[in-house]
Amino acid sequence: MSSTTAEGDPTGDARVHRYEDGDENRIVPFLEKYMGWPSVISSVPHLDHWRWKFLGNPLGFHLVCVAERNGEMISHSASLPTRMKVGQGIVIASQGVDLVTDPAFRGHGLIGQTMKCRNKIKDDHSVALDFGFPNHAAYQLSLVKQGFQDLNITMLQHRYIVDSELFFSKVRFGSIKKLGYGSMEAVRRSLSRPVDLGEGIVVEEATTIGAEFDRLHESASRDFDMMIVRDSGHLAWRYGDPRAGRFIIRIIRSDGDLAGYMVHKEEERDGTRFLNIVDYLMDPQYSHLHSRLISDCKSLAQDLKIETILCCLPQGHPYEKSLSEAGFRSEVRYTGERPMSVIALERGGGHALMDIMKKKDLRAHIMLGDTDWV
């Protein structure tokens, strides 16, 4: 697919096409230069991270298109495919990410051409729904020009201050020293030892992600109308692959059965270290164990010498009560200068999915691990 542009247009000989083997060797430097990619701070080599993100997806296909000119990348559009529960059904959905054009070639419609190329791949794989968590500029563009709708989901950030004296001293007086790698590894070694809480309740670090996680998802998903399918394949890719970054997966068992899990990731921002609960799922029949898993999270933060725990969930989420009872305080979560938004577009001209997602009483399970921000 080649672009057709007016005479004098520098993009006139650009080639727009789907990802081809080896393109990442030019894509990654392009994204690094014009996006500061990746937004996730990680020690993982960027090429490995890109291959994980776009080529390792458990659905088995990618949604990546580029424009190149004279062998150089000049535009990139991508989406992340996933399975999503909407109502009582499962559809293939996609989250738009990493859209950028070289500033020297902007204003000539390249991003539109690469998006059109990407959308053709979506058609080939029966992607039924597009969704995203846009910043201010992308929000306006998506709603005004692309037909997305705001689902009017208020996202709350629940905060627990583990060490208030340490937290406020760092907020006031600047940067802190990071926990050394050796200390982190010592903590991780201690996590490998199960914690027996009595009465058949055990908390431990997940070493494998298998069929029991599928059973947990099947049971827990009944409480929600909208959520990314958190089966074993998705979880192993999202949190279990070292190329994704460093995550800590804590699970709780009752008489040997998997009752729930929390996925944690450490973050440092403005001199303060946070422990993000990026994913969290509990089998409803074990709802009395929320407090045990939250207590384990607090202990983890203390062991890592982290003073603040964060957890992002939709307002009215059933886990909200347990977090509040554990001392978490909530506020609206922002993306830049605007409240975090969830937008969606039903593909193919239908409206059945949007009718479900636009309900005022929509029960949505959305967490930071559903974005590509962590």
The predicted-structure confidence for 169-191, as pLDDT tens digits, reads as follows 555 433 333 344 444 455 555 66
On whether both 54 and 123 belong to a single domain, the answer is yes
Evaluate whether residue 347 is within a structural domain.
no
CA 69 to CA 72: how far, in whole Å? 5
Output the pLDDT for position 294.
98
Per-residue burial over 255-274, b = 16 or more CB atoms within 10 Å of its CB, e = otherwise: eeebbbbbbbbbbeeeebbb
On whether both 98 and 52 belong to a single domain, the answer is yes
Pairing of strands 257-269, 129-132: unpaired
- By residue range, what is the domain housing residue 215? 155-336
On whether both 79 and 181 belong to a single domain, the answer is no
On whether both 74 and 169 belong to a single domain, the answer is no
Evaluate whether residue 23 is within a structural domain.
yes
Evaluate whether residue 315 is within a structural domain.
yes
Evaluate whether residue 48 is within a structural domain.
yes
On whether both 108 and 159 belong to a single domain, the answer is no
On whether both 45 and 179 belong to a single domain, the answer is no
Evaluate whether residue 226 is within a structural domain.
yes
Q: Which residues of the chain have pLDDT under 70?
A: 1-9, 164-192
| CATH code where residue 286 lies | 3.40.630.30
Evaluate whether residue 264 is within a structural domain.
yes
Pairing of strands 195-198, 226-228: unpaired
Nearest partner of 364 among 301, 306, 319, judged by Cα: 319
On whether both 25 and 109 belong to a single domain, the answer is yes
Output the pLDDT for position 177.
36
Evaluate whether residue 143 is within a structural domain.
no
CA 299 to CA 303: how far, in whole Å? 6
On whether both 24 and 163 belong to a single domain, the answer is no
The one-letter amino acid code at 79 reads S
On whether both 323 and 266 belong to a single domain, the answer is yes
Q: Look up the pTM and report it.
A: 0.90
On whether both 211 and 296 belong to a single domain, the answer is yes
What is the domain count for the chain?
2
**Final residue in a domain of this structure, among 127, 146, 170:** 127
- Rg of the Cα trace of the chain? 22
On whether both 173 and 227 belong to a single domain, the answer is yes
On whether both 114 and 173 belong to a single domain, the answer is no
Q: Sign of torsion, CA 97 142 318 298?
A: positive
CA 162 to CA 211: how far, in whole Å? 34
Evaluate whether residue 356 is within a structural domain.
no
